[in-house]
A = this chain, B = another copy of it.
Amino acid sequence: MRYVTIKDIADALGISKSSVSRALAGDMRNVSPSTIERVRAKALEMGYRRNMTAVNLRAKANKIIGIIVPEITTPFSMEFVTTVQEAVQPLGYRVLIAVSSEDPSRERQNLDMFENGRVDGLLVSVTHNVANRDHFENLVKSNFPIVFFDRTIRDLQCSSVCSNDGLMSFFLVEHLIRSGRRRIVNLAGPSYIENSRARSQGYREALEKFHIPLDRRLIVSGGMSVEDGAVAVERLLDGGIDFDAIYCFTETQALGAKRTLQERNLIIPQDVAICTMSGTSLSSFVYPQITAVEQNVVEMARIAVRLLLEKIDIPSAPRQNITLHSSMIVRGSTSAEESSSL
Contact surface of A with B, Cβ cutoff 8 Å = 1, 3, 49-54, 56-57, 62, 72-73, 75, 78, 81-82, 85, 94-99, 113, 115-118, 142-144, 226, 255, 259, 262, 282, 285-288, 315
Q: Which residues in B have their C-beta under 8 angstroms from that of A97?
A: 95, 97
- B75 touching A82, Cβ below 8 Å: no
- B52 touching A117, Cβ below 8 Å: yes
Q: Which residues in B have their C-beta under 8 angstroms from that of A50?
A: 116
Residue from the list B53, B78, B115 in contact with A62, Cβ < 8 A:
B53
Distance of A331 Cα from B113 Cα, bound (Å): 39
- A94 touching B96, Cβ below 8 Å: yes
9 residue pairs of the A-B complex, CB under 8 angstroms, read: A1-B142, A49-B116, A49-B118, A52-B118, A53-B56, A72-B78, A94-B96, A286-B286, A286-B287
A286 → chain B closest CB, angstroms:
6
A309 → chain B closest CB, angstroms:
15
- B78 touching A82, Cβ below 8 Å: no
Q: Which residues in B have their C-beta under 8 angstroms from that of A72?
A: 78, 81-82
Distance of A99 Cα from B89 Cα, bound (Å): 11
Q: Which residues in B have their C-beta under 8 angstroms from that of A94?
A: 96, 113, 117
Q: Which residues in B have their C-beta under 8 angstroms from that of A142?
A: 1
Distance of A57 Cα from B62 Cα, bound (Å): 12
- A53 touching B282, Cβ below 8 Å: no
Distance of A51 Cα from B56 Cα, bound (Å): 11
**Chain B, residue nearest A74 (CB):** B78
- B52 touching A143, Cβ below 8 Å: no
Q: Which residues in B have their C-beta under 8 angstroms from that of A117?
A: 52, 94
